[in-house]
Amino acid sequence: MVVSTRLNGAQPRCVEVISLGETTVRFAGDSGDGMQLAGTQMTTTSAIFGNDVSTLPDFPAEIRAPAGTLAGVSGFQLHFGSHRLRTPGDRVNALVAMNPAALSANLSDLEPGGVLIVNEDAFTKMDLSRAGYSADPLENRSLDGYQLFRVPMGKLTAEACKDTGLTGRAVGRCKNFFALGLVYWLYDRPLAPTLRWIEQKFGSKPVVADANIKTLKAGYHFGETTELFTVRYEVAPAKVPPGKYRRVSGNEALAIGLITAAQRAGKPLFYGSYPITPASDILHFLAKHKNFDVRTFQAEDEIAAMTATIGAAFAGAFAVTGTSGPGMALKSEAIGLAVMTELPMVIVNVQRAGPSTGLPTKTEQADLLQAIWGRNGENPVCVLAAATPADCFDMAIEAFRIAIGFMTPVVLLADGYLANGAEPWRIPDMDSLPRLDVKHPGPVEGFKPYQRNDKLVRPWALPGTPGLEHRVGGLESRDITGEVCYEPENHEHMCRIRRRKIDNIAEAIPPLEINGDDSGELLVIGWGSTYGAITSAVERCRKKGMSVSSAHLRYLDPMQKNVGDVLRRFCRVLVPELNLGQLAYRLRAEYLVDATGFHKIQGKPFTISEIEAEIAKRLNK
Amino acid sequence: MSADAAKVKLELTAKHFASDQDPRWCPGCGDYSILAQVKKVLAKIEAKRENTVFVSGIGCSSRFPYYVGTYGFHGIHGRALAIAVGIKVAQPELSVWVVTGDGDGLSIGGNHLLHTIRRNPDINILLFNNRIYGLTKGQYSPTSPLGKKTKSTPMGSVDFPLHPLSVAIGAEATFVARSIDVNVKHLAYVLERAARHKGASFVEIYQNCNIFNDLAFEYATAKTTKDETTIYLEHGRPLVFGKDRNKGIRLDGMDPEIVELGDGITEDDLLFHNEKQEEPSLAYLLSRMRHPDFPEPMGVFRCVERPVYEDLVMDQINEASRQQPGRLEDLFDEGETWIVE
Ligand code: SF4
């Protein structure tokens, strides 16, 4: 059922083949070792092969940390399997370590007895001491608990490149393809997709292309011919819905969703942003797609990014700003202006571990209450959160649908884990995409900027339209006419109307769905990027016969109308979050249920087994 | 049409730019006069109400948009320029005016002033400089002189002031000018020049706050002193001033000096104004001529051409669209795709 080419079926010698339902491989090396490239190649190849895949890169926080040090270790984890996967994997089953630092930084995640492939050429005295090893772990039996394979990748790569004309350091840079080739053999992956990719990428540099191809094949043949490996693994294709697929990271999916929304409405897309990890890739992606009338504005600061977005919305563009938590803090006054002027726009917060600068490259979900309440005054906005990398596409469109439907800023929450994590995305049919119809009033007599419709939504009147000249601003306005008004009753009226307008959004969104039985002992409810770990953990527990279901919130303000009802159908409610209990606090306050939290704030996502263990504990199993 | 009839027409059309709100500045505030001149200039350049947007931040001056019958946006403190850039990028054909003050534009919004000026969008920036915080009731501002006693500086300010034009020229503004609220003819002239300039026009307007900083610019406005304390710039003309127009500015190396004409010194020895000089040093030198050491220049300091921001933005979009028209199908298919049957 999967179209793929398998070049390498034959078994040249007697090796045992073990079938796996799923497995997790991590490539780790120095940031200059090309581990991200090796990882993404293996991902694409596995996806083309027909596996379900989920990935997570792990970047060092420093851009150019000294080579060989722990601070410079870069990793890429790939989970692939013959069934639906939702996370990049709990435990690493096979680790490729290109140097001692990579070994030291990643070994604790490798399962006992797991496959450990090391580039032994990098275990020199100097590299060992840079990584903080006083003794060589390859020699002192400290790795006895793993299946250790010592491969002289440096030498073998040099050998493979011998006749290609490539010299010096450029040869060393091919090493990642040797490691990749070896892993391809180990997991019986086809070489063709990567060979194609190399030819495309290095078409203009035939020497480099040739060297990489030879090195990739040398790695593969090394696995095949050396006596070192007596076992290899196969992971059969998964049953996935038919269609055309590609890989997307959350940031890519989000950017594609923004462009799609604007295109479906026939609007220019304005994106005002100040560079910030982990949101900057959205800016980069959009800046490359100006042919979709994308107008990117790299602002002088976060506040300018926000206020320029407000200006662009006032003038009729589909306006977006993107940032992370620290930028959100700076934008908060201006978000209030957007609330007062009731203009449609999307504010993306790709959350990272805070407070302050925090752990900029690590993930966290601790900006939920900031998004809902983190502004002065009664200051309601709509708050949404994406659940998976591919879901960022749908939620970006949903954010715009609500923004223009209700003339309101919409905060869309993602996080570092979603932003950089990737999964296959089934490319939607054009016909299945929502059409976003925008209505602007034409010239009328006696136009009133705050004249509302039955949903309390005011008109989006554009500068350039004769007869609609009006003024908006951050001072309290009189309802209907919009003129500045300090009257106490009007202020209360307007505060209540702004809140009710947001509440009205609940009428326009689908109800919360339950995975599993509609009622029972325990409900596990989450939001954002914990979707994969929660859903998989609940599935596992249900298979073991536990009375547990899950639900996942994409709408955080307003919440869906049936949330209270869902919560009350279970004896207990568990809320796993990558914070100290923000959603749990909200659910308790809003619905008076005894929801209790399960928290992790280590800059890392939950593993499935962590949640599984917590469910068992709550159910006294 | 007779001159009188033309004047009547102008006044009528100026009314066309009034909003339905009555200005609420303090009686006697310099802002009234500026508002009147702006409306007159809008009429004169035949601006269209629907295509004009006034944007402001916070402060007394920032109430301005409510009093003009065009589109208007009253923003938050210091951010008017960023709002204006967003408007301009979304709809480049709109005529956008920003009204700001010394606190709004140079203190809380100083960053945006620098970056908006360097990008050079086609907007008109009017900075009402009254050297005080009016709306918050009388604290010193970034343009208040050293030693200024205010509510927040009872023993006198210890901050050296910022000079708006020097800042704008430092950021290489393409149009820089100065005028005074009460000198209505000159103000209208400068505003019209600013409106007609393609690019970011920066105009500093000396504005009297009769409540918290009355007479701050008396030296430049009083009949008895103004001829000696101000000098009116004219492109291509020597810098001459004084009641009897017998004084001028001469360059001594890189330094300006005041000289008396006659006694062997003629106009030809004086500094000649060149607003079109690409190199901003002359304009900067003029911006550093300050009371009481020098007469303060009024008029257009600098007016040069440079591509404007929104044109460059749109050029890239048009070029990218020409090379490959944007189709969503292509966007979705970027990179490697595979089919599952
Ligand atoms: S406080 Fe000063 S600047 Fe403000 S309106 Fe009154 S006179 Fe004008």
CA B175/CA B304 separation, integer angstroms: 7
| CB of B211 closer than 6 angstroms to any ligand 1 atom | yes
> What are residue B35's phi and psi, to 5 degrees?
-60, -45
A246 lies in a domain?
A: no
| CB of B29 closer than 6 angstroms to any ligand 1 atom | yes
Q: State residue A435's pLDDT score.
A: 87
Q: Identify the CATH number of the domain in which residue A103 sits.
A: 3.40.920.10
Residues A256, A378 within the same domain = yes
Question: What is A283-303 written as a DSSP string?
Answer: HHHHHT-GGG-EEEEE-SSHH
The β-bridge partners of A247 are A424
Residues A255, A333 within the same domain = yes
For chain B, give every domain's residue range. Answer: 9-216+307-314
Answer whether CATH 3.40.50.970 is correct for domain B9-216+307-314.
yes
Instruction: Kindly list the residues from chain A whose CB atom is less than 8 angstroms away from the CB atom of residue B326.
Output: 259, 263, 289, 291-293
**Shortest-distance atom of ligand 1 to CA B30:** 8
A598 lies in a domain?
A: yes
Which residues of chain B fall below pLDDT 50?
none
- Which of A413, A432, A451 terminates a domain? The answer is A432
Residues A223, A107 within the same domain = yes
A244 lies in a domain?
A: no
- Minimal-distance CA residue of chain B relative to A272: B86
CA B134 to the chain's CA centroid: 19
**Least confident stretch, A89-93, A145-149, A225-229, A279-283:** A225-229
CA B204/CA B214 separation, integer angstroms: 18
- Minimal-distance CA residue of chain A relative to B336: A246
Residues A328, A416 within the same domain = yes
Mean pLDDT across chain A: 95
Strand order in the sheet with A318-323: A294-298, A269-273, A318-323, A345-351, A409-415, A382-385, A555-557
Residues A496, A426 within the same domain = no
Q: Identify the CATH number of the domain in which residue A555 sits.
A: 3.40.50.920
**What's B244-283 look like in SS3?**
CCCEEEEEECCEEEEEECECCECHHHCCECCCCCCCCHHH
Residues A307, A422 within the same domain = yes
**Shortest-distance atom of ligand 1 to CA B210:** 7
- Which of A390, A406, A432 terminates a domain? The answer is A432
CA A284/CA A154 separation, integer angstroms: 34
Q: Which amino acid is at A592?
A: L
Residues A309, A376 within the same domain = yes
Residue A383 near residue A335, CB atoms below 8 Å: no
Residue from the list B53, B89, B331 with its beta carbon closest to the beta carbon of A289:
B331
A243 lies in a domain?
A: no
User: Within 10 Å of residue A304's Cβ, how many Cβ atoms?
Assistant: 31
pLDDT digits (tens, 9 = 90+) for A87-138: 999 999 999 999 999 999 999 999 999 999 999 999 999 999 999 999 999 9
Give the pLDDT mean for A501-522: 98
Closest by CA position to A343, among listed A444, A447, A270: A270
A240 lies in a domain?
A: no
> At A35, is the pLDDT very low, low, confident or very high (cuts 50, 70, 90)?
very high
Q: How far is B104 from chain A (nearest CA, A)?
A: 14
| CB of B136 closer than 6 angstroms to any ligand 1 atom | no
Residue B94 class from Cβ within 10 Å (0-12 exposed, 13-18 middle, 19+ buried)? buried
Q: Best of B22, B24, B29, B215 to mutate for ligand 1, by most ligand atoms within 8 A of CB?
A: B29
As for how many domains chain A has, the answer is: 4
Residues A422, A464 within the same domain = no
Q: State residue A227's pLDDT score.
A: 86
Does residue A9 carry a pLDDT above 50?
Answer: no
- Inter-chain contact A260–B94, Cβ cutoff 8 Å? no
Q: Which residues form the domain of A473?
A: 439-508
- Inter-chain contact A313–B86, Cβ cutoff 8 Å? yes
| CB of B210 closer than 6 angstroms to any ligand 1 atom | yes
Q: Best of B22, B35, B212, B213 to mutate for ligand 1, by most ligand atoms within 8 A of CB?
A: B212
Cα A599–A602–A604 angle (5° rounding)?
95
The β-bridge partners of A548 are A522
Coil, strand or helix: which one is A310?
A: helix
Instruction: Kindly list the residues from chain A whose CB atom is less than 8 angstroms away from the CB atom of residue B104.
Output: none
- List the residue whose alpha carbon is closest to atom 8 of ligand 1: B29
Give the pLDDT mean for A435-440: 93
Residues A226, A274 within the same domain = no
Residues A285, A384 within the same domain = yes
Residues A158, A87 within the same domain = yes
CA A228 to the chain's CA centroid: 38
| CB of B34 closer than 6 angstroms to any ligand 1 atom | no
- List the residue whose alpha carbon is closest to atom 3 of ligand 1: B209
- Minimal-distance CA residue of chain A relative to B315: A290
Residues in Cβ contact with A559 at an 8 Å cutoff, skipping those fewer than 6 apart: A506, A512, A553, A590
**What share of chain A in percent tops pLDDT 70?**
97
pLDDT digits (tens, 9 = 90+) for A273-308: 999 999 999 999 999 999 999 999 999 999 999 999
Q: State residue A2's pLDDT score.
A: 28
Residues A142, A275 within the same domain = no
Q: State residue A597's pLDDT score.
A: 98
Q: Identify the CATH number of the domain in which residue A402 sits.
A: 3.40.50.970
| Cα(B152) to centroid(ligand 1), Å | 17
Q: Which amino acid is at A107?
A: L
Instruction: Kindly list the residues from chain B whose CB atom is less than 8 angstroms away from the CB atom of residue A243.
Output: 339-340
Burial B112-129 (b: 16+ CB within 10 A, else e): bbbbbbebbbbbbbbbbb
ipTM: 0.96
Sign of the torsion formed by the C-alpha atoms of A327, A333, A339 and A345: negative
